[in-house]
């Protein structure tokens, strides 16, 4: 399997995952041109992508969906609520109805040799999901845009080889920053985004000896920066009363605007 962040941040998200036979994108929230440039670094082209898996309908997750789907005829997989909202988004343009495929949380589906399980997340969107991927004995997950996590989320993130997890904001930076009060409350709320501290605490619940890679993603441009997210998450691991230390794991902050290296296993 392979996992690579093509872009991950508050301004746009697109994550590649796949195997030798199957190539998928989770979200396409940057321009098709930038996505194609990212795929080129992976020695892939748009025509190689077999599915666009959409987490939810916010612009930073669907910006390039329409162009990619039309240009290459790529199937779009999303929940019923997300598809309904996407169809109302003028930015997508007209997309062939046959390209839409409705998925359901907690119901597995197959693309090529990849088994995919969408699972519910708490975010202020119509019907958002995160995704867990399995190829043989290998597995990965991509989980961002979560206001809170619970036992259900933790269960879906256990036993992974690789994980891209949201570390959106530093709470203090957000609280003293320029955002309007209502927006601050939305981000901090149960349907907002995970803070650096929350990301670290969630990680502590799913770490295990064989975890090979952790990407921290969806960082806010205004309320976070890479070094702070990285060190805060490492501190949470250090403080957690388990046997692990931060240095036991390969932790990397995903770049906002470019590819973040390929995890392959």
pLDDT of residue 229: 98
Once rounded to an integer, what is the mean pLDDT over residues 39-48?
97
pTM of the model as a whole = 0.97
Name the token pair of 126.
């119509």
Q: Are 90 and 49 in contact (CB under 8 A)?
A: no
- What are 127-183's pLDDT values in tens digits? 999 999 999 999 999 999 999 999 999 999 999 999 999 999 999 999 999 999 999
The two tokens of residue 201 are 């605490």
Residue 27 contacts residue 62 (beta carbons within 8 Å):
yes
The class (CATH top level) of 2-264 is: alpha beta
Q: Are 205 and 237 in contact (CB under 8 A)?
A: no
Q: Are 25 and 14 in contact (CB under 8 A)?
A: yes
> Domain extents for the chain?
2-264
CB-based contact 46:69 (threshold 8 Å)? no
């Amino acid at each position: 399997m392979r996992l690579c962040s093509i872009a991950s941040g508050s301004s746009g998200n697109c994550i590649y995952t796949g195997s030798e036979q199957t190539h998928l994108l989770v979200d396409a929230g940057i321009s098709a041109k930038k996505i194609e440039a990212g795929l080129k670094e992976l020695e892939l082209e748009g025509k190689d992508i077999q599915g666009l898996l959409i987490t939810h309908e916010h612009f930073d997750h669907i910006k390039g969906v329409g162009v990619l789907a039309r240009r290459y005829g790529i199937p779009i997989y999303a929940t019923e609520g997300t598809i309904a909202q996407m169809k109302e988004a003028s930015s997508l343009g007209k997309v062939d109805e046959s390209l839409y495929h409705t998925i359901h949380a907690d119901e597995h589906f197959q693309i090529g040799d990849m088994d995919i399980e969408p699972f519910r997340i708490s975010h202020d969107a119509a019907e958002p999901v995160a995704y867990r991927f399995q190829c043989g004995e290998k597995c990965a997950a991509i989980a961002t845009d979560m206001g809170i996590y619970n036992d259900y989320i933790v269960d879906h993130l256990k036993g992974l080889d690789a994980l891209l997890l949201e570390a959106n904001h530093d709470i203090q930076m957000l609280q003293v920053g320029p955002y309007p009060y209502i927006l601050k409350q939305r981000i901090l709320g149960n349907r907002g985004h995970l803070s650096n501290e929350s990301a670290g605490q969630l990680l502590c619940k799913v770490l295990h000896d064989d975890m090979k890679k952790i990407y921290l993603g969806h960082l806010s441009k205004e309320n976070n920066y890479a070094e702070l997210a990285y060190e805060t998450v490492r501190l949470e691991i250090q403080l957690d009363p388990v046997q692990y230390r931060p240095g036991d794991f390969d932790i990397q902050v995903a770049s906002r605007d470019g590819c973040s290296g390929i995890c392959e296993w």
